[in-house]
């Protein structure tokens, strides 16, 4: 936990870098799409590493009860301001490992958190152990395979040779990208049912003319939505999303 990445001191820069760009806007749209089939009735939702509250606001607008947690005090100050209008959102400064009531929630949202953790697979194991039977986990993470693909296209071969590690760590550069299929297999082996798989930004980050990310954004969104759950394109998503469910108490494994 002491080696996990927080965003104290750079919270505003973090927010601008993510949601002030087409990459962040598209990521948010696709994650909202991925959640939509599983949030048709009012739910009690825990958001782990919820940041500045963008997803919490979306879910609160739908009438769900949200508890947003994050380890960064600075980030939560922005979240408090952004979510001030919502009476159905609670905000807590907590590390994942310190949350003791995960089994009280219908759905846990853990988006873009694993890549900042020193031991991401321990976090998945912890979430599975503490979810209530039948509980849902919305999990997204930075896809190492897509990062390698993009850097090969850009000609960043020295970076690839270093194992996708920068010489001087950039605070907003994910420190622990994970191969999508490895995470899928780990989740299955942990006992989760996989309800859906979605690539997030399957095309956006590979566009030859990056001005089209803005000028053709609506068309890009349409193509992303058309193919982001389709082989082979979903595996090229710069981020990867899984909707997972812990088996119900009365469900027996084969």
**Residue 54 covered by a domain:** yes
**Residue 252 covered by a domain:** no
Q: Is 252 annotated as a binding residue?
A: no
**Residue 55 covered by a domain:** yes
Q: Is 50 annotated as a binding residue?
A: yes
Q: Is 49 annotated as a binding residue?
A: yes
**pLDDT (0 to 100) of residue 68:** 98
**Residue 6 covered by a domain:** no
**Residue 141 covered by a domain:** yes
Q: Is 24 annotated as a binding residue?
A: no
pTM attached to this predicted model: 0.90
Q: What is the mean pLDDT of each run of 10 residues along the chain (254 residues)?
A: 47 58 94 98 97 95 97 90 96 94 98 93 97 98 96 92 72 78 98 98 96 97 98 97 94 57
**pLDDT (0 to 100) of residue 171:** 52
Q: Is 144 annotated as a binding residue?
A: no
Q: What is the extent of the structural domain holding 105?
A: 11-245
**Residue 2 covered by a domain:** no
Q: What is each CA distance from 26 to 29, 30, 35, 169, in whole angstroms?
A: 5, 6, 14, 26
**Residue 75 covered by a domain:** yes
Report the number of distinct structural domains present in the chain.
1
**Residue 5 covered by a domain:** no
**pLDDT (0 to 100) of residue 72:** 86
CATH number at residue 78: 3.40.50.150
């Amino acid at each position: 936990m002491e080696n996990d990445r927080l965003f104290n001191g750079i919270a505003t820069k973090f927010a601008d870098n993510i949601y002030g760009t087409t990459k962040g806007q598209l990521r948010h749209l696709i994650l909202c799409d991925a959640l939509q089939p599983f949030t048709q009735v009012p739910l009690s939702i825990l958001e782990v590493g919820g940041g500045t509250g963008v997803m919490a606001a979306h879910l609160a607008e739908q009438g769900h009860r949200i508890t947003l947690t994050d380890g960064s005090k600075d980030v939560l100050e922005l979240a408090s301001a952004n979510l001030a209008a919502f009476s159905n959102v609670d905000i807590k400064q907590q590390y994942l490992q310190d949350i003791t009531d995960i089994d009280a929630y219908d759905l846990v949202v853990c988006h873009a958190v694993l890549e900042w953790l020193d031991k991401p697979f321990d976090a998945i194991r912890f979430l599975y152990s503490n979810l209530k039977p039948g509980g849902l986990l919305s999990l997204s993470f930075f896809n190492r395979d897509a990062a390698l693909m993009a850097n090969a296209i850009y000609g960043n071969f020295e970076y690839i040779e270093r194992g996708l590690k920068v010489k001087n760590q950039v605070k907003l550069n994910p420190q622990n990208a994970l191969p999508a299929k490895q995470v899928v297999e780990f989740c299955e082996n942990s006992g989760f049912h996989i309800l859906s798989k979605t690539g997030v930004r399957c095309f956006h980050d590979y566009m030859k003319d990056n001005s089209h990310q803005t000028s053709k954004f609506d068309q890009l969104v349409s193509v992303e939505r058309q193919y982001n759950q389709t082989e082979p394109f979903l595996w090229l998503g710069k981020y990867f999303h899984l909707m997972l469910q812990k088996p119900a108490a009365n469900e027996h494994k084969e």
